[in-house]
Structure 1
Amino acid sequence: MPTTTLPTATTLDTARLLLGVLLPTIAKGPIVRRPWAVRLTARLDLDTRAVDIVRRVHARYPEGPLMLKLPVRKQAMVLAPGDVDTVLAQSPEPFSPASSEKRAALSHFQPANVLVSRGPVRTVRRALQEQVLDTAHPVHRLADRFVPVVEEEMQHLMCAAARSGTLPWGEFLDAWYRVVRRVVFGDHARDDKDLTAMMIRLRKGGNWAFLRPVRKDTRRRFLQRVNEELANAEPGSLAAVLAAAPKGDGAEPAEQLPQWLFAFDPAGMATFRALTVLATHPQAMAAARREVDGDTSGRRVLPYLRACVLEALRLWPTTPMILRQTTRPVEWPAGVMPADCGVLVYAPYFHRDDRHLRGAHDFSPERWLTDEEDGWPLVPFSDGPVVCPGKQLVLLLTSATLASLVGGHDLRVAEGQALDPERPLPGTMDNYSVTLAVAPRAERAAAAS
């Protein structure tokens, strides 16, 4: 049994990781994105540089997780694929997802959420989440209700886009929020922008974690609104399923629901990024349209479009830092990781490692359509026992959204970040700068004439 501690980075290497990897990632906003920081990161290609920094550091410390030399915090970084598998497979014990940083950030709007819970109460809250979100099923029990909501909102969006000839990110986001509110709360919440704005205000505070006091009055009013929604839950909504579900002691249902609003936000970002790639990659667009045109599932089972969303999340993870914290000392072949040690998996390092991952910088949805296991950690929704419980629901809604957008319209990038299918895709996708040009789908227009 090892009795020594794990390898520790030098002060210089720790500084490289802090300044070149962690700081740019945090600056973009861990809870809600800061558009100016995303733009700057894209302009300076900081995410590509971050992956290169991790690669060089890993070459100097090839054995086991690496401890960082920090004065006030025990912190490890996981650099090997097998170690990533170990951490994720052994969560929540001894690798708890309720890290100190995550608790501080999420306490701004959901202090009793499953993500920041430990022990028996976490088990209760996780079971409730899985029950409501149909975690084990690719098609949610309310798909017959949710998919028409997506189609209706995207039809409204594309009618307006066709009239103006453009689809900017902001207009897509507004339509996506309408989908989210209707799915979570019901049709009556479609235009409740105040609720979304309240959530965003609290999430902006969460970006600062320990460094900004919680807006307690805003949080109280927000959670009161959520409780009111649960008490008067509209049939056919996630809130209604949550209200009717059996609940164990300590479930705190009102504090499980905000996570869905939070998680659906980056899902919209991934959808728009996938749409932007499809607009610039003719072969991928053709494959997507073949699936849409031949679909017999009512847009409930769209494997290729689901793979497009997964590929966008691989290329540009909306959760680039997967955080854990040890609940006890953990033995590794290279040494012992202490208790209460932060554990960081920097997903872009594995998602973009072109030494081991074929086509690491290409858009290749096909990689998600095979059962082949290559042992390489691609973790857009995390993995293991604490994998995102809403993964399948997110893929259902995002793939249905893409189907509605590409089925009847031609798209190209009119403004913003240019993507070339013949060149490696950039390390950062600045979706905030993108405006898509929209026109009726050419072959359909020709057939109609």
Structure 2
Amino acid sequence: MDQIIVRGGGALHGEIPIAGAKNACLTLMPLTLLTDQPLTLTNAPRLSDIRTMTSLLQSLGSEVVSLQDGQVLAMSSHDLTSQKADYDIVRKMRASILVLGPLLARYGHAVVSLPGGCAIGARPVDLHLKSLEAMGAELDLRDGYVFAKAPAGGLRGAAHGFPIVSVGATENALMAAALAQGTTVLKNVAREPEIVDLAQCLRRMGARIEGEGTSTMTIEGVTQLNGATHPVVTDRIELGTYMLAPAICGGEVECLGGRIDLVATFCEKLDEAGVDVVETERGLKVSRKNGRIRAVDVVTEPFPGFPTDLQAQMMALMCTADGTSVLEERIVENRFMHAPELTRMGARIEVHGGHATVHGVEKLRGAPVMATDLRASVGLILAGLAAEGETIVGRVYHLDRGYEKVVRKLRGVGARIERIKEVTSDE
């Protein structure tokens, strides 16, 4: 099993290109199931989750071709052979549930396994299912699968309010509503950039959608959708992660393709902590202000609030801050599993339910640590950049799900980092 070795203590200088968003691309790929015409995605990230979604679509009969070293995905679903998403593929990644809405909308029936993914809480799919039931779908959960059937004549437009904001449920409902008969009004929807990107791609395909980026979306169903070419939006989580690298160990790094609007709340917290973020023609330039990082409190919230997917990385920064910070996790349960690993490096962290209190220390110490999920893995790498000595991060297969060429990108700005054992494309 691969490990990443980080030798900390040096400042970072240079530039890091930011990839297309994993979460956006995984949502855009199932759009091919809504049309018999070609759909092409550019600026696609090269990640294991993308390969998993590719395998899932191909198992249904879609054609998916990777071009330009994986940065272009050419897809066609003109002749699907199956409407069943099997457990063997779906178990690997939670985003697999996003094929349910498109299959049900286009074919009137679907069988989709309950999904897997990172072990960071239950994250049930009931919000997805209730929105489809509002459009008339009949659902039966048995043997670990969702058996879904649309009413005669297809899904029907409906008014539906989500009891809590859910990105995935919003995405599934939006895709299904694009081909539903009549008007669908979705309230209390997610406002993330990935939702806006999905709506923009659907509009390119001929969908009639209003309100993306707000809490209410209105969709006028159409009888069919066309093909399109669409660029995947910049990955705001990868962007925020690499912005933290010079913040935690000093130096100045320009994140190419970065945009303030994607990470505005995050940037406010960085400013409060003593980190400069300057917008340039090419992206965002980040450097630490004079002196030690200041402790700040963080509460994770739906967009435009502080992202839950940057909480582990922010905790790594707060471990060496001047003062005490409190991080409150409101989005995903059981998402402080990285805290015990950080304490192995000399951090002082107390976890009580959904709150973590971090008492900053002057220096972290390198140690063997174990990644527990995708974002925790890169949080431990960031901590290793600031630590004295050598940090060995195990279980880095999590990392491959969300960060392309992380070793190469960090090494390119001066980090002393390497991946050992199995040779992969990350080297």
Query: TM-score of the superposition, structure 2-length normalised?
Result: 0.25
Return the structure number with greater helix share. Answer: 1
